[in-house]
Amino acid sequence: MAKLVYDNTGRLLFTREMKEEYTLLMPQMLPVHFGMMKKLLECEGYKVDMLTTNHRGIVDEGLKYVHNDTCYPALLVIGQLIDAVKHGGYDPHKVGLLITQTGGGCRASNYIHLLRKALEKADMAYIPVVSVNLSGLEKNPGFSLSLPFVRKAVYAMLYGDLIVNVANQVRPYEVEPGAADAMIDAWSQRLVDGFQAGKGMSRRQLRANFDEICSDFAAIPVEGDPKIRVGVVGEIYVKFAPLGNNDLEKFLLSEGVEPVVPGLTDFIIFKIHNRVTDVDLYGGKWIKKFGCKAFMKYIEGCQRDMIEALEKSGRFRAPGTFQELHSLVQGYLGDGNKMGEGWLLTAEMLELIHSGTNNIVCTQPFGCLPNHIAGKGMIRKLKDEHPYSNIVAIDYDPGATKINQENRIKLMLANAKGLAHQEPVRPRPQPQMEREPQLAHANI
């Protein structure tokens, strides 16, 4: 058994010996993106299990060890990890818990401390908690993010966004159920294999892979009339994680609509942009601003490559760029509104409206004040200026029942079907957003 080693603050470290012996348990948020991340970590020599459990016992474990004033995503993530240690068949003396830590003023920086407190309460303080961060917040001798790994992770994020985008536009219409999911699995493995061979990580190779992904998904046979589109926005965990939103995308598909989920890339650029904003608003080192702007410019360039691939396909709708999102939100929220998803949440709703997806589910977890302000708090303003928009805020918390959430969404969908037969009032012109959807299916 690996020897337990602590730093000078009393924090239990994940050691090199543990890397050889321990299995790292990793919560799932984005199934496609995190699936590739798991494979990349395994290629680095770590033993990793991504948790896909989804049952009431997870909430019960979270309620047992997390204060009920804490946000719902924290309760779920911590509950899922502890449930896995207790009931997942693991040796608790041979597991570590992997969790992200952003360094911002939100839950994503505090999870790690809440998780350690929960382990103490559960008499499992001997389990190491490993921080995944790029801010140097916590370091462990047995876990580090090398520059090559970070580079692969960034490319995995971009590829994941494109794959999810095209899959969501194919899945509601596929002739053979499961064809889009099979293509996702094939491309995910192909990309990870390519990363290990040093392929797919230049801009030229990125563009080539983007084109091939679009071509392969466009070749999947589809049928049927165009369906009503429903956008999904909100706090990042409940927006993406099936555990957090009670399998919202699967429910929308079962109701005969096409889910439209903005990707992760804009959120990553948003977080880098916030570092630039900090210097502009509060002062700071010019070198920090310069470095962040250079990194942001590179990812924005890769995002434009993805958008161009979608447009060239002639089959798929393309999202707007980050700068287009930023221009849309002017007059609604300032750059200082950056906690949680901040102004980006409002911007995503505006982009959906202006691109023809007028029906929107805004996922709101208990305890996430920034998102209640920038999400639910902005709905009236958006409806006043865009009366054809059809937005519903759905609350997710330990006491909310799935049936009540789905009934509220069904009411929104009934309204959507009524609006589909009316000629909508067109949106007021917006700068840089006259992008016409490329999908062969007509807009509804």
Specify the pLDDT at position 103. 61
Give the Cα separation of 401 and 406 in Å (integer): 9
Helix, strand, coil content of the chain in percent (nearest 5): 55, 10, 35
Half-sphere exposure (CA, 13 Å, Cβ side) for 76?
Answer: 28
Give the Cα separation of 75 and 107 in Å (integer): 11
Q: Are strands 129-132 and 229-234 parallel, antiparallel or unpaired?
A: unpaired
End-to-end CA, the chain: 60
Angle (deg, nearest 10), helices 342-354 and 265-282: 130
Where do we find the tokens 């230049």? 202
Which domains does the chain possess? 16-143 (3.40.50), 225-263+319-444 (3.40.50)
Residue partners of 9: CB distance under 8 A and separation at least 6 = none
Using the Cα atoms of residue 268, residue 393, residue 242 and residue 225 in order, give the sign of their dihedral: negative
pTM reported for the whole predicted model: 0.89
Using the 8-state DSSP alphabet, how is residue 111 labeled? Answer: H
- Phi and psi torsions of 25, nearest 5°: -95, 130
Return the structure tokens found at 274: 């916030």
- Find out whether 129 and 119 touch, Cβ atoms under 8 Å: yes
- Find out whether 414 and 406 touch, Cβ atoms under 8 Å: no
Give the Cα separation of 379 and 361 in Å (integer): 11
Which strand (E) or helix (H) includes residue 405? helix 402-420
Give the Cα separation of 62 and 78 in Å (integer): 6
Return the structure tokens found at 433: 């957003």
Give the Cα separation of 282 and 259 in Å (integer): 39
The mean pLDDT values, 10 residues at a time, for the chain of 444 residues are: 85 92 93 92 93 93 88 92 95 92 66 90 94 76 86 91 97 97 96 88 92 97 95 94 95 96 94 91 90 94 96 95 96 91 95 96 90 92 94 93 94 88 51 43 38
Specify the pLDDT at position 239. 95
Count CB-CB contacts under 10 A for residue 251: 18
CA dihedral 24, 25, 26, 27 (to 10 degrees): -170
Partners of 222 in the β-ladder: 174
Least Cα distance to 98 among 85, 81, 110, 79 occurs for 81
Least Cα distance to 187 among 171, 204, 166, 203 occurs for 166
Specify the pLDDT at position 438. 41
